[in-house]
Amino acid sequence: MESPFDVLSVEPDADEEAIKEAYRETIKEVHPDHGGSAREFQLVRSAYEEIKDGGAEAVGEEDEDRSPAERAEAAASPREGEDPRREQRCRVEYLNYEVLDDRGWDLDEADLMETAADGGLDREDYGQFWVRPRESLLEAAERHGFAWPFACRGGACANCAIVVLEGDMRTRVDHVLPEEMLDEGFQLSCNGMPVTDELQVVYNVKSMPELEDLLLPPRPFEQAHDD
């Protein structure tokens, strides 16, 4: 899978200026006004954000002499002694379930994500981001500034449920989703970690009828949106 550095065609040890320059060049090339697609445009933008974000987060004493790109790589690498279940970041393409109703789209629709990419949706509703090793999908969404729904964060409700369209996840604790729902692609985002390099998910599916009895009072998400 392409890493954020591959997407921008820069070396992982590139300095900040080189990364910025590569971003400017690449984003121009893939801009829909210049013959690119909305999907490519999102991909390049999220790659740049991932590199920038990783650099800022990983700064420590041992990182002081590293370039932003090297810090980003360090942040994404498994620590010593940890189980490197997935050593690479996973690129996630996400879509808000609420949009399906509004637009008359169906979850089983072929090319749903392509349709969404061309749908002129807000970034909150459709886009891409990278999940780092050891990070749950919900944690990654929050790191990127999104308020995805949750309640317990402990595998005891379905408020954080998502539907996986492509790729696979492993959930550390799940006391709620029955086997048949797992087979249909339902997973918990609060402690579910991708085990594939790429993932397509529909989040915010808690209004689906099959989840109705598995929900806890959904406070944080609604509060975040009501505030």
CB of 151 to ligand FES, least distance (A): 5
Q: Is residue 90 involved in binding ligand FES (CB under 6 A)? A: no
Segment contacting ligand FES by CB under 6 A, of 26-34, 68-76, 95-103, 145-153: 145-153
What secondary structure does DSSP assign to 57-97, as a single string? Answer: HT--GGGTTS-HHHHHHHHHSPPTTS--S--S-EEEEEEEH
Pick the binder of ligand FES from 112, 147, 156, 214 (CB under 6 A). 156
Angle at 103 between CA 145 and CA 203, to 5 degrees: 35
Q: Is residue 160 involved in binding ligand FES (CB under 6 A)? A: yes
Q: Is residue 150 involved in binding ligand FES (CB under 6 A)? A: yes
According to DSSP, the residues that pair with 93 across neighbouring strands are 128, 200
Residue whose CB is less far from ligand FES, 76 or 199:
199
Residue whose CB is less far from ligand FES, 52 or 144:
144
Tokens 């599916």 locate to: 205
Q: Is residue 157 involved in binding ligand FES (CB under 6 A)? A: yes
Segment contacting ligand FES by CB under 6 A, of 36-44, 151-159, 206-214, 219-227: 151-159
Pick the binder of ligand FES from 155, 163, 164, 186 (CB under 6 A). 155
Q: Is residue 152 involved in binding ligand FES (CB under 6 A)? A: yes
Q: Is residue 215 involved in binding ligand FES (CB under 6 A)? A: no
Segment contacting ligand FES by CB under 6 A, of 30-38, 86-94, 148-156, 203-211: 148-156
DSSP state of 6: H
- In angstroms, rounded to a whole number, what is the distance separating the alpha carbons of residues 144 and 53? 9
Least Cα distance to 29 among 18, 14, 44 occurs for: 44
Residue whose CB is less far from ligand FES, 147 or 156:
156
Q: Is residue 159 involved in binding ligand FES (CB under 6 A)? A: yes
CB of 66 to ligand FES, least distance (A): 35
- In angstroms, rounded to a whole number, what is the distance separating the alpha carbons of residues 130 and 128? 7
DSSP state of 109: -
Residue whose CB is less far from ligand FES, 48 or 97:
97
Dihedral over alpha carbons 61, 86, 114, 148 (to 10 degrees): -70
The strand order across the sheet containing 186-188 reads 126-131, 90-96, 198-203, 161-166, 186-188
Number of H helices, E strands in the chain: 9, 7
What residues make contact with ligand FES under the rule CB under 6 A? 150-157, 159-160, 188, 190
